[in-house]
Amino acid sequence: MSTHYRWLNEPAACRSDAGMLELTTKEKTDFWQHTFYGFERDNGHAYLCPVSGDFSASVIARGSYEALYDQAGLMLRIDQHNWIKAGVEYTDGLMHFSVVVTNRISDWSVIPLRDARKEDDVRIRLSRHGDAVRVQFAVNDAAWQLARLAPFSSADALIGIMACSPERAGFEATFRDLHVGPPISRNLHDG
């Protein structure tokens, strides 16, 4: 992984090798601001690099999803109160594609991944075009699917991988092929 990346809240354990990063979470880690639950959490693990302007970021993630809210994916972060996290989250006994957009308060949307298994590759992509962020996902070799188009600041930010385990310690996540580069086409309906 690039030397431009820095940890926000280092995990309990981490290993990287040739485009792959494996981590193990600490106990009760999460990113969340206020909504519904009424608490603030900013102790999740994120490995981030600076980004400005328009871009696309993608990664392949896998995890040992077992406990409620185990999660792994990408994070776009300006500060503690302005960020997006997107990836797989375990809830209601099932892997879901989850997106949380936080502009001082957090929201949450999920798409059930009914046929996905822990050993499947989930590809995640965030693309920023001005003041909008497109969130996409694909399981294994399936086509990209739109999960969310959200308003978000075009300010300088940080982008990279994130993992959390709000209900336990020891969630293991593996990330491969993290890439940050020019934005994909703005055409929402390209295959």
191 within domain boundaries: no
Q: Tell me the pLDDT tens digit for each residue of 179-188.
A: 999 999 998 8
Query: pLDDT tens-digit profile of 11-38?
Result: 999 999 989 999 999 999 999 998 877 7
**Residue 47 falls within a domain, yes or no?**
yes
Q: Which two tokens stand for residue 18?
A: 């040739």
The H helix count followed by the E strand count for the chain is 0, 17
Q: Does residue 190 sit within a domain? A: no
188 in a structural domain: no
β strands within 64-155, DSSP E: 71-79, 82-91, 94-103, 105-106, 109-112, 122-129, 132-139, 145-151
Instruction: Write down the pLDDT at residue 1.
Output: 43
Number of domains in the chain: 1
CATH code: domain of residue 78: 2.60.120.200
Confidence (pLDDT) at 36? 78
State pLDDT tens for residues 120-176: 999 999 999 999 999 999 999 999 999 999 999 999 999 999 999 999 999 999 999
pLDDT for 101 equals: 98
| Domain assignment present for 186 | no
Q: Is residue 1 part of a domain?
A: no
Q: Which of 118, 165, 122 is nearest to 24 (CA)?
A: 165
pLDDT of residue 3: 58
pLDDT at 2 over 60: no
Both tokens assigned to 175: 């990330």
**What average pLDDT does the segment 77-94 reach?**
97
73 domain residue, yes or no:
yes
- Tokens 């999920």 label which residue? 110
Mean pLDDT of all residues in 57-72 = 98
Residue 178 and residue 67: Cα distance in Å, rounded? 25
Tokens of 38: 């009424």
What is the residue range of 87's domain? 6-181
Q: State CA 18 to chain mean position distance.
A: 21
- Using the Cα atoms of residue 107, residue 113, residue 118 and residue 123 in order, give the sign of their dihedral: negative
